[in-house]
Structure 1
Amino acid sequence: MTTIGVTGHMDLTEESVPLVRAALDELLRAYEPDGLVGVSCIAAGSDSLFAEAVLDAGGRLVVVLPSRDYRTAKVKPDHAETFDRLVAAAGEVLVMPHGTADRRAYESANRALLARAERLVAVWNGEPPSGKGGGSADVVIEARNAGLPVDVVWPEGAARRG
């Protein structure tokens, strides 16, 4: 059994999505499907691409939601169908004990994700933390400080919007 958590950018360009997904598929091929568990907060972008790749590889999905209001407060209409499909496909859904999706809730969700994981996949461009907390770089630093192996996925041609 191998449990892999994910962190990554939400704001991938449209052209980056198939590149990142192909890189995730390639990385997950190294694991036996019946022993693969992916842990994801299933946010738009990298988290959901990873969750879909885990399920398509035959693995089991564990979803970590930062707060009780996450679905209604933070999931935008263009991501709602994917979000609902992934929640329904998950073998387990953990909801952090926060009423509101705020920085504290995101940090709590990231800690829960890292506590479950044996390694971390980071769909991350390698840029340092923004200083806001809870971003991909922050999670990578936390994982490395905890001694978790980190696989950085940032294929050639990948980019962020904006």
Structure 2
Amino acid sequence: MQIAITGHRELPEPTVNLVNTAIRRQLAEHTDTALIGLTCLADGADSIFAQAVLDASGSLVVVVPAAEYRDGLPAEHHPVYDALISRAVEVVRLGHRESTSQSHMDASMYMLGQADRLLAVWDGEPARGYGGTADVVEAAKQRGVPVTVIWPDGASRD
């Protein structure tokens, strides 16, 4: 089972804990098959998901949207990103140089092309910019990829 992730970044700590629990519940439903998690490893939902996949004895496929992607992530997230990418069974690097909304959407589209299912850590609001969570959810629906929205009671964004 190949599961892709999309979701919000910069989540407050109480929401991180709620989302982590909810993602782990979702992944626990797939213990009977080989679990592969597709992620870009951004801070927030992506990295929470990646760690949960590894903890469930799954494999990570990391999709790097652009050569400068890591540099565009918060500096405090770099050690987490580095640790998780080092555990990936495959790293797919897209041909973009700059980390832009388009490169992020292209990475999401790549993941949707591989995924059996999409987990979306999403508050249901429109995307704050092109390539945001709402756009990825809509693209998944258009492609016929089943979507499970995760936004636990009590979750919030900044």
TM-score bracket, normalised by the shorter chain, equals: over 0.9
Q: Residue in 2 aligned with 1:35?
A: 34
Structure 1 residue 116 displacement after superposition: 1.0
Q: CA RMSD in A?
A: 1.1
Instruction: State how 1:138-153 maps to structure 2 within 5 Å.
Output: 138-153=135-150
Letter in 1 for 2:24: D
Residue among 86, 89, 92 paired with 1:88: 86
SS of the aligned residue for 1:97 comes to: strand
In the aligned structure 1, how far is the partner of 2:104 from the partner of 2:32? 29
Report the Cα distance in structure 2 between the residues aligned to 1:123 and 1:22, rounded to whole angstroms.
Answer: 12
2:125 equivalent among 127, 140, 145: 127
Q: For 1:1-162, what aligned pairs fall within 5 Å after superposition?
A: 2-32=1-31, 35-71=34-70, 73-130=71-128, 132-161=129-158
- Matched-pair identity in %: 42
Task: State the distance in 1 between where 2:72 and 2:95 align.
Answer: 16
Asked if structure 2 preserves the Cα contact closer than 8 Å seen for 1:42 and 1:83, the reply is yes
Tell me if the contact between 2:102 and 2:130 (Cα under 8 Å) persists in the aligned partners.
Answer: no
* Superposition TM-score, scaled by structure 2 size: 0.96
Q: CA deviation at 1:65?
A: 0.7
User: Equivalent residue of 1:47, what SS?
Assistant: helix
User: Residue 33 of structure 1 contacts residue 59 of structure 1 at CA under 8 Å; is this kept in 2?
Assistant: no
Moved over 2 A (4+): none
Letter in 1 for 2:111: L
Aligned amino acid, residue 122 of structure 2 = W
Gaps of 5+ in 2: none
Q: TM-score, normalised by structure 1?
A: 0.94
Q: Tell me, in whole angstroms, the C-alpha distance in 2 between the residues paired with 1:105 and 1:129.
A: 16
For residues 113 and 85 of structure 1, what CA distance do their matches in structure 2 show? 21
Distance across 1 between alignment mates of 2:10 and 2:113: 25
Structure 1 unaligned blocks of 5 or more: none
